[in-house]
Structure 1
Amino acid sequence: MGILKDWWQKFEKYPQRNWWFSGILLGVTCFVAFLWGLGSVGLVDETEPLFAEAARQMTVTGDWITPYFNGATRFDKPPLVYWLMAIAYKIVGVNEWGARLPSALSAIAMTILGFFTLRRFGFPSPKAVTTEPNSPQTQRQLWLSAWIGSALMALNLQTMAWGRTGVSDMLLSACMNGAIFCFFWGYSIPSPVGEKITPNSPFPNRWYIAFYLLLALAVLTKGPVGIVLPGLTILAFLFYVGKFREVAKEAKLVFGAILFSIITIPWFVAVILANGQVYIDSFFGYHNIERFTHVVNHHSAPWYFYFLVVLIGFLPWSLYVPIAMARLRFWRRSFWQQQPRSAHFGLFCFYWFAIIFIFFSVAVTKLPSYTLPLLPGASVLVALLWSQELTRSPDLKQRKDNSFFITGIANVIFLLLLVAGCLYGPFAIGYDPAALNLAEDAIKSILPEIGALIWSIGAVAIAFLLLRQKNWRWIFCVNFIALFCFIIFTLIPASYFADNLRQKPLRELARFAARVEQPQEEFVMIGFQKPSLVFYSQRPVTFFSHTPHFLKRLKEKAGDRPQDYPILILSRPDKTRESNLKSGDYEYLEGKGSYQLIRVNRDTILQRNP
């Protein structure tokens, strides 16, 4: 405690150091989480290349209204993520950096906004707001809340994964979460300094305007869910604290609706005019309504699915979310209604987490990425808990329950389970036709042992700290250091390892195919559907799941092409044998990993398969 107190006194003597330290912390955190090696790993099949190629097609065709992939319309998502990728391609080139830069920058912006919001409103308790907002203790808590919360927002498995992936999930999360942060700023500071806003003014304060702008961008990223989730969160919170009518007036809903419509409606009108009912049925019907009410693409899961997703995706901080919620005593409605607005941030984040969790638990289609928007809310809750723990007096009488100790024990057990997962996880890797030796090579690599060692040291250190109650506060530091080391020495190297075995052979063959292609030659992939082949070859590819499907299509189209029509086939060697082709029937061009690239005439295949 003495060391920590001396450290704080030095910082408080020179307040500017806090901002310098914050800048360095945010810079290192965001670099490690989102920028380090961003373009060093190839696009990961199946989803990422669909987005990357659709954006590339916009730069080729000049059609910025209707997204296309491999010659077919792609109505899964609105255009904002494609637009941003296409712009990135113009700046850094058509590559992995360009495809992923919008996601990475979105995650960084969300982290920075989260830092400043916590620095302003990250009070661990309402008492700090009402009685001692400027005391050294409260200021220390605000700094700690900002540092811890922003680090947790960035350095968790889910945010890192989607912040490094060229899809729409991170952009959607950043827009929605940014809107939620901005709403709370507007809610807590109805009339910021320098703004002349009268009760009869048609305009709200600048934070509400930012809120509406970000909601519109969220809808342009992924559709109605971009306004539904923030809307449900805010409505539930406002009704609970009894301020719905009051806030509705000051937020100028009519102005917000007009601004929102001006930004969102033009593209939806343009795409419907260009594609008609097909777009309406596909986007609004299939990709929105059906995803909520039916299982889409076999993405079903049990009701407890998201408990497991949050437990693993937000490790090890997920263990502290329950006590972080309980300490708010959110059931004391009359108490919270009496508190000033700026003291509501913790309660607001409780609703943020709970509403999104419940919404997607009710939805029939379930995917791990759906919990991404609730993680900043969870980060704030845990940050408020730990900022209070790290600044509380070591007097043992202050703690009246054993919840923290029990959670600490669960923390140790959880880390030991991670040790077992690191050591035995490679043995659970099943058969992967795209990388036949993946499990064997993973077992032989040193990465599982490194991960197990990191979590073992963390478990032992936390068990030691639990022996003395006054040392419990340092559990946070152990968890953070262990997680950071795991990311640096295991997680990121593991992504390079998997890429070399699974994706690198495919993209090398795709680029080779682009170099050796002949005019009017058809490019076919049999046995796999890997969209990255389209992106890296930059040419249309026809996919067949099985050889019989390929042969059937070839016979049906026999009269449409000349007899010497060449076909470029990428598949596994066993698929070539299924076509009854002999070594002299085709030209072997190249082989990488599990794949081989051959050229064969159409009539040769038909002769072998009458």
Structure 2
Amino acid sequence: MSLAFAFLAKGPIGWIPLLTVGLAMIFLRETPLARRFAFGRGLLLMLSIVALWGIPALIQTHGQFFVVGIGRHVIGRSLATMEGHGANSFGMYLLLLPFYFVTIFISFFPWSIKLPWLIRKGWEKRNIAVKDPGYSGNKIDNYLIIGIAIIFIIFTLVRTKLPHYTLPAFPLLSLLLARHWVHQRTANFKAIAIVTACLWLVIALIVPPFIVRSFPAYGLFQESRDYLRPEMQFGAVDYQEPSLVWYFRSRVRGWMTPLSAASAPQFIAEGGPRFVVLPSQLAAKIFPNQPPNWKTFSTRGFNIAKGKRVDLTLVLKPE
């Protein structure tokens, strides 16, 4: 059931644990795993749950659920750079291959400071396993390493790159680190763990409300929220970050439509209330003479995903 829900939430990447178990059976020669996991019945249950939601979604969206969800956001992100997250040339693609092996020291911090030590300990245990074929502890390590490696290899080869793509590997990496680190505990280990957990909890509760104020989508939403109506449609030009959907979909039922500078005027001219979010420098060119009842909101913020400041304008047609 968890694999079915993982697919519905994140797409095919949610099925990576199946690949991990399959490769573990092959490389670790653990054929009894097949009987223990009851793959036949499990796969049937998983596909049935996916179908209960997926088939109606395909029908309701006239096939766009597959075209956009799988075609654009899975295959498209794998073969081409989307929304500027990644390399636009083959040379830059090669230079970015080590991307996740560098960013992990930030995204997995503070535990990442123990990764060099973990690699050394893993190598030592590998040597023990070579000398003692009956040593079974290494199989658990290998299973975790296989799962971690699969995720890092897949997203290293994918052209679109974002630091959080490798987060599914972190539970496995945490278990691997904990297995080895637990034997190195000092007298203050428990106190340090509690203090660290409390510190991160405080950061998680206090810091985000301050950071969110720098998000341009949040600023536009706060300025325009009193004019938003559930039946509105909205589009975006040259700015299609998920934050637009997160904030505006809380008030608007329509889905965000990706637009170009050429298609934006036609989109907003269609019947019904709607609005367009676009860079401020384009707003004056695309909508130079706005009707008196239209509303315009502008804000500046920081696009964390691209690491640069942006100026955005929201042009709203109330009717």
TM-score of the pair, normalised by structure 1:
0.38
SS at structure 1 position matched to 2:174:
helix
Matched, 1:269 2:64: no
Matched, 1:383 2:110: no
CA separation of 1:549/1:533 partners in 2, compared to 1, >3 Å: closer, same or farther? Answer: farther
Matched, 1:243 2:39: no
Contact preservation (8 Å) 1:216, 1:260: yes
- 1:108-257 map, 5 Å: 213-227=1-15, 229-244=16-31, 246-257=32-43
CA separation of 1:267/1:522 partners in 2, compared to 1, >3 Å: closer, same or farther? Answer: closer
Alignment partner, residue 225 of structure 2? 511
- 1:29-178 map, 5 Å: none
Contact preservation (8 Å) 2:278, 2:313: no
CA separation of 1:566/1:497 partners in 2, compared to 1, >3 Å: closer, same or farther? Answer: same
User: RMSD of aligned C-alpha atoms?
Assistant: 4.1
Matched, 1:368 2:179: no
> How far 1:308 sits from its partner (Å)?
2.5
SS at structure 2 position matched to 1:242:
coil
Write the letter of the residue equivalent to 2:14. G
Q: Distance in 2 between matches of 1:571 and 1:319?
A: 42
Q: Distance in 1 between matches of 2:70 and 2:238?
A: 32
Alignment partner, residue 252 of structure 2? 538
Write the letter of the residue equivalent to 2:296. I
Matched, 1:497 2:291: no
CA separation of 1:526/1:226 partners in 2, compared to 1, >3 Å: closer, same or farther? Answer: closer
Alignment partner, residue 286 of structure 2? 550
> How far 1:313 sits from its partner (Å)?
1.5
Q: Distance in 2 between matches of 1:345 and 1:494?
A: 37
- 1:425-504 map, 5 Å: 473=186, 480=193, 483-484=196-197, 486-487=199-200, 490=203, 492-500=205-213, 502=215
Q: Distance in 2 between matches of 1:495 and 1:549?
A: 35
Alignment gaps of 5+ in structure 2: 88-95, 254-273, 301-310
Q: Distance in 1 between matches of 2:135 and 2:312?
A: 64
Aligned residues: 272
Alignment partner, residue 44 of structure 2? 258
> How far 1:549 sits from its partner (Å)?
4.9
Contact preservation (8 Å) 1:526, 1:550: no
Q: Distance in 1 between matches of 2:44 and 2:6?
A: 16
Contact preservation (8 Å) 2:129, 2:135: no
SS at structure 2 position matched to 1:364:
coil
CA separation of 1:243/1:267 partners in 2, compared to 1, >3 Å: closer, same or farther? Answer: same
- Residue of 356, 361, 386 corresponding to 2:151: 356
Alignment partner, residue 151 of structure 1? none
Q: Distance in 1 between matches of 2:246 and 2:252?
A: 9
Contact preservation (8 Å) 1:310, 1:318: yes
Q: Distance in 2 between matches of 1:353 and 1:231?
A: 13
Matched, 1:338 2:134: yes
Q: Distance in 2 between matches of 1:255 and 1:532?
A: 37
CA separation of 1:277/1:484 partners in 2, compared to 1, >3 Å: closer, same or farther? Answer: closer
Cα offsets for 1:402-433 (capped at 9, x unmatched): xxxxxxxxxxxxxxxxxxxxxxxxxxxxxxxx
SS at structure 2 position matched to 1:223:
helix
Write the letter of the residue equivalent to 1:319. I
| Larger CA Rg, structure 1 vs 2 | 1
CA separation of 1:366/1:478 partners in 2, compared to 1, >3 Å: closer, same or farther? Answer: farther
SS at structure 2 position matched to 1:541:
strand
Contact preservation (8 Å) 1:353, 1:378: yes
SS at structure 1 position matched to 2:43:
helix
Matched, 1:296 2:54: no
SS at structure 2 position matched to 1:224:
helix
Aligned residues with identical type, % of pairs: 22
Write the letter of the residue equivalent to 1:240. F
> How far 1:223 sits from its partner (Å)?
1.6
- Residue of 289, 292, 295 corresponding to 1:568: 295
Matched, 1:317 2:111: yes
Contact preservation (8 Å) 2:277, 2:313: no
Q: Distance in 2 between matches of 1:327 and 1:595?
A: 50
Write the letter of the residue equivalent to 2:295. L
CA separation of 1:596/1:222 partners in 2, compared to 1, >3 Å: closer, same or farther? Answer: closer
